[in-house]
Structure 1
Amino acid sequence: MHPESFFHVAIKTDDLDASESFYRTHFDAAVVERGSAADGEGATAVNHVTLDVADKLVYLFDRAPYEAAGQVESVPTGFLHYGFVVPDVDAAHEELTGDSVEFVMAPTTFGDLRIAFLTDPDGVRVELIEHL
């Protein structure tokens, strides 16, 4: 599999405002988007702030989208996952599954994205992202 680009890092935080302020103050981050759990459902029912830091996105969540959707148990505060853009999530899933890579979430459509989550040998979550 050949990712097209590194897309983002996702972090679960206990205090969105404090985390946003930290990245804005110390890393010159710019706010790209804010979202409210009240405006979503399932995986989108999370409070979040998307930041542009250097040339990548940092997503700050009050809880992980896959946690909000009930796909995993509660996850601890801190690093959640990172994401790679791939040309075809289903093809990447098929290739990696054939190589015995463990997926924690099979390919699914999420708004205008096709996504899937796998874990590396140490259990770090990796998101594969296809822009539809």
Structure 2
Amino acid sequence: MTPNSFFHVALKADDVDATAAFYEEAFDGTLIERGHADEGEGATAVEHAALEVADKRVYVFDRAPYEATGDVEPMPTGLLHFGFVVDDVDAAREAVDGPDVDWVMGPERFGDLRIAFLLDPTGTVVELIEHVS
């Protein structure tokens, strides 16, 4: 499976607004989206800010989507995961799947995305992202 592009990194922060402001000020980031937990359900019931920094996105969450769904225990603040864009999440999942692959969540709808999360051999969470309308 060959991803189309590297899309983002996701961070967990105690204060989403303060962390987003840091990336806006320190790295000339542009806030492109702000979401609130009470506006979503399941994986989307999270406080989050999306920023464009250079040519990539930085997502800041109060908790990861896979924490919100109960698929994992609460995680510490800091780096949560990074994401690759793929044409088809189901096909990518099938191509990557095997006896040594642990799936954390998905595929699941997240706004205009279909997403799935897996663990690499080091335990790092990797997201597969399909843009849908």
- Shorter-chain TM-score tier: over 0.9
- Larger mean CA deviation between 100-109 and 44-53 belongs to 100-109
SS at match of 1:121: coil
1:1-132 matches, within 5 Å, as 1-98=1-98, 100-132=100-132
Partners of 2:93 and 2:101 lie apart in 1 by: 9
Question: Offset of 1:59 from its aligned partner?
Answer: 0.5
Question: Offset of 1:99 from its aligned partner?
Answer: 6.9
Aligned length: 132
| Unmatched runs of 5 consecutive residues or more in structure 2 | none
SS at match of 1:57: strand
Change (3 A) 1:50 1:105: same
Is 2:66–2:104's contact at 8 Å kept on the other side of the alignment?
no
* One-letter amino acid matched to 1:113: L
Is 1:8–1:57's contact at 8 Å kept on the other side of the alignment?
yes
Is 2:11–2:60's contact at 8 Å kept on the other side of the alignment?
yes
Question: TM-score if structure 1 supplies the norm length?
Answer: 0.92
Partners of 1:43 and 1:5 lie apart in 2 by: 23
Q: CA RMSD in A?
A: 1.4
Identity of aligned residues (%): 64
Question: Offset of 1:18 from its aligned partner?
Answer: 1.7
Partners of 1:20 and 1:106 lie apart in 2 by: 27
